[in-house]
Amino acid sequence: MKFNRILAASLLVASNAHATDSFNSEAAHFVFGAALAGGITAVVDHWYPEQREYRGWWGFGISSVGAALESLYEYNINGNGRNQALDAASHIAGSALGAYVTDKYILEPVIKPAAAGEGSYIGLNLVYAGKP
């Protein structure tokens, strides 16, 4: 499964990370954010079908808010606001990528209604730009 590969990659990166602002630490936050947002997106798709149209936003939002709250908690305990802000930003960037990729490329597409007044449709649109 693709999600297991993402999780395994995040654990490999996170195993070398420490509480610093090094590349490995920020990469671990980025990869974990991508995996978490992708997982939440898949959960919303499976368990809340009425929210399928917004599943990517749910994955991004829940993961990002969680990262911001965790960084705020760590800042209140340990201080060092620069490192906490960098951790949260890395996680949020990963969340954006993970939710987008999961929504658009891993899960099956969602049929969305057309613009107001046009109804809904599904099909294949072919365009020929050659000579008549």
pLDDT tens digits, 11-38: 555 544 445 678 898 999 999 999 999 9
Token pair belonging to 28: 């671990």
Asked if residue 34 belongs to a domain, the reply is yes
Secondary structure of 17-64 in HEC code, one letter for each residue: CCCCCCHHHHHHHHHHHHHHHHHHHHHHHHHCHHHHHHHHHHHHHHHH
Asked if residue 113 belongs to a domain, the reply is no
Asked if residue 60 belongs to a domain, the reply is yes
Radius of gyration in angstroms for the set of CA atoms belonging to the chain, rounded to a whole number: 19
The burial of 110, by beta-carbon neighbours within 10 Å (0-12 exposed, 13-18 middle, 19 or more buried), is given as middle
Token pair belonging to 42: 């898949």
Asked if residue 114 belongs to a domain, the reply is no
Give tens-digit pLDDT for 40-53. Answer: 999 999 999 899 89
Asked if residue 52 belongs to a domain, the reply is yes
Q: Which domain holds residue 34?
A: 2-106
Asked if residue 38 belongs to a domain, the reply is yes
The residue to which tokens 């991004």 are assigned: 60
Asked if residue 32 belongs to a domain, the reply is yes
Give yes or no for residue 89 having a pLDDT over 90. Answer: yes
Asked if residue 129 belongs to a domain, the reply is no
Split into its structural domains, the chain has a count of: 1
What is the amino acid identity at position 110?
V
Lowest mean pLDDT among 4-8, 56-60, 124-128: 4-8
What is the amino acid identity at position 71?
S
